């Protein structure tokens, strides 16, 4: 799969996509620059759903900002541990688990969706396995 360039700086590979318009960007700085330009969402599909709101950080009312989010962002070594975790691979092999993750990804309030889904034992098991693997506690 060919890596696309960042649509903002055009210097690095685009690792992330804007949820509103799907433009690729490489970093938090490029994301913020993209948002500042008021990106336009792609044309609506044939379904009757309203277009997604402009991309902005989810505010769950706890006062966390971008600095707090950046502190909790996974580093490349964390992602490698997730990739090597047999437990995570087994849990993600379940189409139901992947559907739950996709539901969180598409939800306009992903933090709230995660809070609700963590009441489900299957989702909580996946969340705990992901946390353990990313922190290096996975056997």
**Three-state SS at 6:** coil
Report yes or no on 48 lying in a domain: no
Token pair 């993600």: residue: 92
Q: Are residues 32 and 90 in the same domain?
A: no
Q: Are residues 30 and 77 in the same domain?
A: no
Q: Are residues 76 and 135 in the same domain?
A: yes
Report yes or no on 63 lying in a domain: no
Domain span including residue 24: 1-42+53-57
Q: Is the pLDDT of residue 23 over 90?
A: no
Quote the number of domains for the chain. 2
Q: What is the pLDDT of residue 115?
A: 93
Q: Is the pLDDT of residue 1 over 80?
A: no
* CATH number of the domain where residue 95 is located: 1.10.260
Higher pLDDT, 100 or 62: 100
58, 26 contact by CB (below 8 A): no
Q: What is the pLDDT of residue 57?
A: 52
Q: What is the pLDDT of residue 18?
A: 82
């Amino acid at each position: 799969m060919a890596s696309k360039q960042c649509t903002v700086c055009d210097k690095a590979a685009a690792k992330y996509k804007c949820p509103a318009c799907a433009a690729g960007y490489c970093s938090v700085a490029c994301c913020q620059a993209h948002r500042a330009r008021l990106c336009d969402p792609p044309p609506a599909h044939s379904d009757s759903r309203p277009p997604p709101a402009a991309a902005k950080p989810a505010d769950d009312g706890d006062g966390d900002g971008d600095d707090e989010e950046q502190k909790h962002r996974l580093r490349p070594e964390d992602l490698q541990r997730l990739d090597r975790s047999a437990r995570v691979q087994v849990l993600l092999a379940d189409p139901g688990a992947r559907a739950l993750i996709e539901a969180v990804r598409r939800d306009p309030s992903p933090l709230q969706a995660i809070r609700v889904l963590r009441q489900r034992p299957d989702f909580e098991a996946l969340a705990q396995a992901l946390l353990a693997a990313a922190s290096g506690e996975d056997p």
